Amino acid sequence: MISNHEVDYRIFGSEMQCVEIELDPQETIMAEPGSFMMMNDGIQMNTIFGDGSTQENGIFGKLLSAGKRLLTGESLFMTAYTNMVSGKRTVTFAAPYPGKIIPLDLSRMGGRITCQKDAFLCAAKGVSIGIEFQKKLGTGLFGGEGFIMEKLEGDGMAFLHAGGHVEERQLQAGEVLKIDTGCIVAFTKEVNYDIQFVGGVKNTLFGGEGVFFATLTGPGKVWIQSLPISRLAGRIISYGGFGKRREEGGILGGLGNILDGDGI
């Protein structure tokens, strides 16, 4: 069995983080298109079909891998960065929005992590990136962002990105955590994931928090984000007004827009 490439790394920044990956000669890191920030001379960039893992056998395996990525809304292609010189070289990837980068050593987590479909940033070559369908009917119908998730398998390093503050929780056996589906970043394979009805007419009609939430049951480790990208995007759209400035103090704000020429 071929093990994953081992990589050393450093994470920089506080709210807009980036991760610097150090590559030994012939070592490769796989990344999502659009996450690249910078790299040393001597690293070769190559766009490939699928995830480049050892599980892709032949053209059928590559098509299956790419099809799984398409279902999660990701690109059919990934970018491989390989150190082609004799010395060590570095390549850096940036987070797409404010939040935290989460390093995960899959060899210490049972070889598998389930994560939100937009959380993956990069991973050592050999990590398989597939899909994880939530099999229960209720989860499938009402799971929202948590219905189709990504599954990372292998024994190497993987890096996820999450919005806002990230909390890591170790659940004990039988311990239940109720959480908004969009706030789930990832969890280990032992954790049981399900969907539960909030309950109550007032909660359902006027609660403003959705009709369902997720339940995570231990044992296992979970990662939770305080600002899902969908929530951030919704607030930006609501305040943006499709190009019109919306400022505090409605009357004065409108007058300011007119004086600036925006109201003409």
d(CA 248, CA 264): 20
Longest dimension (CA), the chain: 69
C-alpha 10: how far from chain center: 19
Where would I find the beta strands (DSSP E) of 148-240?
Answer: 148-153, 157-163, 166-171, 176-179, 184-188, 192-197, 212-217, 220-225
Architecture of domain 8-238: 4-Layer Sandwich (3.60)
The mean pLDDT of 148-169, rounded to a whole number, is 91
d(CA 96, CA 107): 26
Is residue 244 exposed (0-12), middle (13-18) or buried (19+ Cβ within 10 Å)? Answer: exposed
Give residue-wise pLDDT tens across range 217-240: 999 999 999 988 777 777 777 776
The verdict on pTM exceeding 0.85 is: no
Query: Where is average pLDDT lowest: 21-30, 55-64, 202-211?
Result: 202-211
The mean pLDDT of 13-22, rounded to a whole number, is 92
Q: CA torsion, points 131, 134, 137, 138, in degrees to nearest 10?
A: -130
| Residue among 47, 2, 45 at smallest CA distance from 23 | 45
